[in-house]
Amino acid sequence: MLDNKKEVISEKLIAKELRAIIRDKDIRTVFQPIINLKNARILGYEALSRGPKGTFFEDPLKMFSIAREYDMLFDLEKVCREKALHVARNLKEDDKLFINIDPHVIYDHNFQGGITKEFIDSLPISHENIVIELTEKTSIQDYNGFKAVLDHYKDQGYQIAIDDTGAGYSGLQSIIAISYDYIKLDHFLIRNIDQDPLKLALLEVFIKFSRKINSKIIAEGIETEDELNTLINMGIDYGQGYFIAPPTIKLKRDLGISKYIIDNNKIKKKSLIGVIIGELAKREITISEDTKTNKVVDIFEKHQNLQSLVVLKNNKAIGLIMRDRLYFRLGTKYGYSVFMDRAIKLIMDQNPLIVDFNTPIEEVSNQAMSRGFDDVYDCIIVTKNQKYSGIVSIRVLLDKFSKIKIEHAKNLNPLTNLPGNLIIEREVSERINNQEVFSVLYLDLDNFKSYNDCYGYKKGDEMIDFTARVLTEAVKLSGNKSDFVGHIGGDDFVIITTPEKDEIISQAIINRFDKEVKKFFNKRDIESSYIITKDRQGELSKTPLVSISIAIVSNKKRRIDSHLKVSDIAAEVKKYVKEKSGSNFMRDKRKG
């Protein structure tokens, strides 16, 4: 009995302490960056609230739990929001600030809908920069009331995110019922995702689903390189976690992880066929959300070839009107009378497909085809620095994609299916233009002609195919994700990598090639270590078994301004490396 009384007294003292913290606004705010996992740009920061350092309330879970139990949740969240917004005055123009709100706040008798708006209006922060992040630690009891609160915030211009998705409770039900701008995946789903096939399968479902409803996914709790790498490869939009950056008092902008993300994305982000969606975008007539529907109809009637209109607000795309869908809507029983004299925002598509200017067209094609049946042929809106840039029709996208893919296929070597000369030249030139430090490995087989003469062209083709596999797998195991393997033709190949990897890859190739190439020779030739062939004069001669020579050229210590310069240097180095017997590699050591 005595122990129970002590516990009650203790809880009351804790509650009293929390009231004092709220009264004195003794809340610390830290900010954790949320980063784009495709281009390493910072999307924004999540504001995280902490109680006084070294106290019971330093743990936010305990602090909010006590606040909920003693009817202080609204007052606490109000202080946390104001603290976060006050510190976030230094946000850049396009930075988002994610502010947490517990769903229980909507049940608080002190709830006042306009308080956040009133406070933000007094600060140099745009409503469009604010993302209301609804926590999912507890279940949502009243969906009608909950949705009403979200509609209230959306009407003021805020974006909405749902937190802890995948952790249970009502997260999935909430996503279905409410249109979120961002879906934040819970730590549980991200933890060790690189090792868990079931989590990977579930994440794939979330990715496809988010694209259909035009929401962006944020992976929370990224703590390891392997987790981050897996998420990048799967195409997750944004990431957050201690491996990227821990929460800090000041807004952290220089993230050490940025280069890693960019490097890991090079092979994904670079268009397979060298075309980005921005190259296809065309600026068309745009309208504001307040444009009357009858005015929109007039525009379509005046421009018969116009199939869509983008709805803009402050030069940002917020909606799309497709001609056929508008006419269908107006043709319904009450459509004309209800909408014709009202603002177009009531009838526009509020969740069109919007992509960045630099997105490869094959990625856009995948996103477009992942949409629902009713939306699959809708136009695609293109933005640059989050501002409207233009629009692309599905017809234009697929026509261009098809033509260039055919052209790309023509430049693949038919035997090895590796990129040929044109693509090789483009890869080298691109690195030069981007001022990257790189190494080019020129590889060819020694004594290959003699092998062809002795064993025949079919066996020769098999050896070429084997060589291509050795190169590709060596790069995969020992190189960078952005490395490139190409086939010049015949027994000549190219690898593009970084200087710190060039010798490692070369040695890996030689080790495997020398070990496995013997399977292409008969027992007698293997034992004697040569084959008998005829020279140009028709005389019999002994030729060593096939080996591989590698010439390494790098711009690390010398200036290289064209792909032709690379070829010239490699040809000189190759002469010297071929003078050695067996498989070898040699680096160009000249400077200047």
The pLDDT value given to residue 591: 62
Contact between 232 and 268 (Cβ < 8 Å): yes
> Any idea where the domains of the chain sit in the sequence?
32-48+95-269, 277-402, 411-587
Percent of the chain whose pLDDT exceeds 70: 90
What is the average pLDDT across 467-478? Answer: 96
The pLDDT value given to residue 2: 38
Class of domain 411-587: alpha beta
Say whether pLDDT at 34 is over 50: yes
**What CATH number does the domain located at 32-48+95-269 have?**
3.20.20.450
Q: How many CB atoms lie within 10 A of CB 285?
A: 14
The pLDDT value given to residue 170: 47
Residue written as token pair 């003021």: 156
Contact between 286 and 382 (Cβ < 8 Å): no
Say whether pLDDT at 438 is over 90: yes
What is the average pLDDT across 203-221? Answer: 87
The pLDDT value given to residue 210: 86
Highest-scoring range by mean pLDDT, 130-134, 401-405, 499-503: 499-503
Please give the CATH topology (third level) of the domain spanning 277-402. CBS-domain (3.10.580)
The pLDDT value given to residue 110: 56
Say whether pLDDT at 506 is over 80: yes
Q: Do domains 32-48+95-269 and 277-402 have the same CATH topology?
A: no
Q: For residue range 236-294, list pLDDT tens digits in order.
A: 999 999 999 999 998 888 888 888 887 776 655 455 556 789 888 999 999 999 999 99
Instruction: Say what the alpha-carbon torsion angle 280, 282, 286, 289 is, to the nearest 10 degrees.
Output: 10
pLDDT bracket for residue 1 (50, 70, 90) = very low
Say whether pLDDT at 193 is over 60: yes
Say whether pLDDT at 5 is over 60: no
Helices and strands in the chain: count of H runs, count of E runs = 21, 21
Q: Where are the alpha helices (DSSP H) in 235-343?
A: 258-269, 293-302, 323-330, 335-339
Instruction: In whole angstroms, give the CA distance from residue 219 to residue 34.
Output: 9
The pLDDT value given to residue 584: 96
Q: For residue range 100-113, list pLDDT tens digits in order.
A: 887 767 655 555 55
Instruction: In whole angstroms, give the CA distance from residue 182 to residue 184.
Output: 6
The neighbouring-strand residues paired with 131 are: 98, 159
Q: For residue range 399-421, list pLDDT tens digits in order.
A: 988 887 787 778 889 999 999 99
Contact between 101 and 134 (Cβ < 8 Å): yes
The pLDDT value given to residue 455: 93
The pLDDT value given to residue 6: 45
| Residue 564 vs residues 71, 413, 430, 438, 589: alpha-carbon distances, Å | 74, 21, 13, 15, 18
Largest CA distance in the chain: 111
Instruction: In whole angstroms, give the CA distance from residue 326 to residue 328.
Output: 5
The pLDDT value given to residue 114: 55
